[in-house]
Homo-oligomer: A and B are copies of this chain.
């Protein structure tokens, strides 16, 4: 901020080399170039919030059916969506903190923890979504047994879980890319 204010006392001003160097650095707190979606950016916060919202919706739709505990894949979907929502909520809070205090999250250890967590949660929710999709298609198309089952709720929960996976994948790939390009 001082670099952009006109100097009132030119005699006491710092040497011009220092001001040039400061003007060349866009973010003076040691930030590298930010690709939106990397940890600590607004893009990452948006991804985290959408992951959280979608997994919570999937969890609610699946848990609102009365017969989900009788199918293992649906129980797995509830568990995976719960884990995903907790993880995304925690990371969203960390992103909000990083944006508010303008701190960079470019530490190797932090990014490797984020990458591993994203990889594990995204694999789990994708696996649960695929298993639920397999069973929903089996009930709906192969057996034509949607009359006595909550097919629409199962389908909505599965679709939301897939969309949550679509929102986690960019976070995982961007974190992995950041880790590899260090």
Contacts and interface: CB of A to CB of B under 8 A. Distances in A.
Interface stretch (A6-14, A87-95, A131-139): A131-139
A1 interface: no
Contacts of A180: 176-177, 180-181
Q: How many copies does the complex hold?
A: 2
Contact of A134 (B135, B142, B173, B177): B135
A71 B134 CA distance: 9
Contacts of A173: 176
Interface of A: 70-73, 76, 126-128, 130-135, 137-138, 141-142, 173, 176-177, 180-181
12 contacts: A70-B142, A71-B138, A71-B142, A72-B142, A128-B130, A131-B131, A131-B135, A135-B135, A138-B138, A176-B176, A176-B180, A180-B181
